[in-house]
Structure 1
Amino acid sequence: MILEIDSVELSFDQKKILYGVYLKAETGKVTGILGRNGSGKTCLLRILFGDLNPKYKNIRIDGKYLKTKLFTTNSIAYLPQHKLLPGNLKVRKAFALFRVDWHDFIGQFDSFSSYADSKTSELSSGELRVVETYLILNSGKEIILLDEPFSFVAPTYVEKFKLMIQEKKKESAILVTDHFYREILDLGDTIYLLKNGSSKFIQSKVDLENEGYINFNLQQR
């Protein structure tokens, strides 16, 4: 499955946010999206998901124009930046609702075993992010959108998720945004940088340095 988006025009208060974007994601690959705060990364994922309506957009699946919103097709799962799960929901109940095996989860993240009957509001930001990311990655959807999945997450868990993403991409097209460019460079089979409303294809760290996304001198210290 190949997912493409272009011809996007999005403005807020007459300020153009996105207007020269092309992005392609496909089953078997991780598509990484980089960009500074305010560059439109989250907006682009929301447009793909279907809960943000730009002035113009052209979304295609396998070359065919998509006439409906992707979230109505039951083929997409989206991890937003903000909290996904309600605070009064018990952790194990969330797994039941998502039809994801709790025992498989604690087999990989054993420190969470004591949280089965805890409310999600009782978890730390990093712990909640682990639970939510795991649920979305194991949703079985053809398209998975992950908006900064590694925020507040312990490095050990980040490495586990990177391995999981590499495994899950065999059956899904996965799009990942993050501020941690090293993780995106490591994970991404295809990488785009959002800058000045447009997307730029990135092949290496040097491209990010040339685009001013990385301060080269700072990296050499």
Structure 2
Amino acid sequence: MLVADGLHKSYPNRRVLCGVSLSVSPGEVLGIVGPNGSGKTTLLRLLTGEELPDKGEVRLDGRPLCDWSQREKARCLAVLPQEGLPSVPFTVREVVEMGRHPHQGFWPWAGERDRHVVESVLLETGLQADRDRHVDQLSGGERQRVAIAKAMAQDPRVLILDEPTTFLDIAHQLGMLDWIRSWSQREGIAVLIVLHDLNLAALYCDRILMLKEGTCFAQGSPSEILTPDRIRKVYGVQPVLTRHPVTHAPQVLLQPGAGDSSATKPAESFTL
């Protein structure tokens, strides 16, 4: 569905990405992880067409992304940027309805399909009770939930999210990621998600791409990627890994005092 081949991107005096390739298929959740400055946000800009790569190509549904019109792209691909939703003077329902604009005709009037999608998203994201509240009266976490709902209302085939759990408490983090994953599987949506939390990435992603200094350091299943040695080499911390007692996904435990100064110590882990 979404494929990137050999992406390179540089800015004056700084190389940001070098030869990054990836693909995400319908019904799959691909996680992008890596430390600050590893190129995650730049990679998303190339994947969404916000910027063009210096070298390499991004293809959406088999066509070069640069061949898609903005309206065509908006019907197929939804994006939730890292900064989320600004404080705007519209109601929650009105903002979620904005996600339907790419599917409407010359006159942007909501039809039966639009109303059905909006109501379904409000219900499944737990925003029904807040539908008539103005977004500029919401907290940062509440606005993030509305931004996710707006992206979902776009009814995309590909969903790209840059740190969607920002500002959310742990209950809402799990609720949103549960919904995104189940929606992806139910509707065959290809999801690409940037996460800083390695434990959430292990719990919710089918595959993980780990970036280091603009290159693809490793790519595979959470169990293949999240190892003590890889985490030490990429993040410069000495972790302890164990298995989640319910899902058996790898989980990262941090040790006080095991930062950069101890990054060269032998890797540790519990029996997995």
Shorter-chain TM band: 0.7 to 0.9
Tell me which residue corresponds to 2:235. Answer: 213
Alignment: residue pair count: 218
2:219 to 193, 196, 201: 201
Question: How big is the alpha-carbon RMSD for the aligned residues of Structure 1 and Structure 2?
Answer: 2.4
In the alignment, does 2:201 pair up with 1:187?
A: no
Amino acid at match of 1:149: P
**CA distance change for structure 1 residues 68 and 84 in 2, over 3 Å: closer, same or farther?**
farther
The normalised TM-score by structure 1 is 0.86
Shift of residue 29 of structure 1? 0.7
Q: 1:105 aligns with which of 122, 126, 139?
A: 122
Give per-residue Cα distances to partners, 1:27-80, cap 9 Å, x unaligned: 021000001112111111121111112322311345554442475422100000
Aligned match of 1:172: 189
Give, as a single letter, the amino acid of the residue that structure 1 aligns with 2:197: F
Q: Structure 1's 106 and 167: CA in aligned 2 closer, same or farther, altered over 3 A?
A: closer
Mapped partners of 1:187, 1:162: distance in 2 = 7
The answer to whether the 8 Å contact 1:146/1:175 transfers is yes
Matches of 1:162 and 1:70, distance apart in 2: 30
Q: Which has the larger radius of gyration?
A: 2
Residue type at the aligned position of 1:216: Q
Question: CA separation of 1:214/1:102 partners in 2, compared to 1, >3 Å: closer, same or farther?
Answer: farther
Quick check: 1:137–1:168 contact (8 Å CA) kept in 2?
no
Preserved CA contact (<8 Å) 1:30 1:169 = yes
- Which residues of 2 match residues 72-91 of structure 1 at below 5 A? 72-73=71-72, 74-84=75-85, 87-91=88-92
1:7 aligns with 2:6: yes
**CA drift at 1:89:** 2.1
Return the structure number with greater relative CO, CA threshold 8 A, min gap 6. Answer: 1
Measure the CA separation in 1 of the matches of 2:71 and 2:202.
Answer: 31
Shift of 1:128: 0.6
Give TM-score, length-normalised by structure 2. Answer: 0.71
Partner of 1:145: 160
The aligned residue for residue 120 of structure 1 is 135
| Equivalent residue number for residue 18 of structure 2 | 19
CA distance in 2 between partners of 1:6 and 1:107 (Å): 35
Q: What 5-or-longer segments of structure 2 have no aligned partner?
A: 100-113, 241-252, 256-272
